[in-house]
Amino acid sequence: MIRTISIALLMCSPAHAAELLMFESGSCPYCDKWNEDLGGVYPITPEGKRAPLRRVNDDLPWPDDIGEVRPVRYTPTFVLVENGEEVGRITGYNSEDFFWGLLGELIDELPETPADP
């Protein structure tokens, strides 16, 4: 019964072709600031629903499945990917306005999905 429900939920869940990779480091005060300011709200925003956040620890080897992402030099770096391909990036974080404005420009580069207006 539980397995059937789980499969049904997976089939009804929207597939996310886009995701926002957040390259962070344990010694990054700007990462801490982003987490404090936006870490809790990002998943419930329209942007967070369109491009769910995936955290990547830049201190460790990168996962093999993150696609063709150019090297990251500073943390935090936010890389918007669509189907494994880099769409664009935001290097650094200094304020909410800075982040949302640049992220909005990147998301505008994504192809429309059937759920988009």
Whole-number pLDDT of residue 4: 35
CA nearest neighbour of 91 among 58, 49, 52 = 58
Whole-number pLDDT of residue 7: 35
pLDDT band at residue 112 under the 50/70/90 scheme: confident
CA nearest neighbour of 79 among 5, 33, 22, 15 = 22
Q: Write down the pTM of the prediction.
A: 0.82
Phi-psi region of 92 (alpha: psi -120 to 50; beta: other; left: phi over 0): left
Give pLDDT tens digits for 64-78.
888 789 999 999 999
Domains of the chain plus CATH, in order, are 15-107 (3.40.30.10)
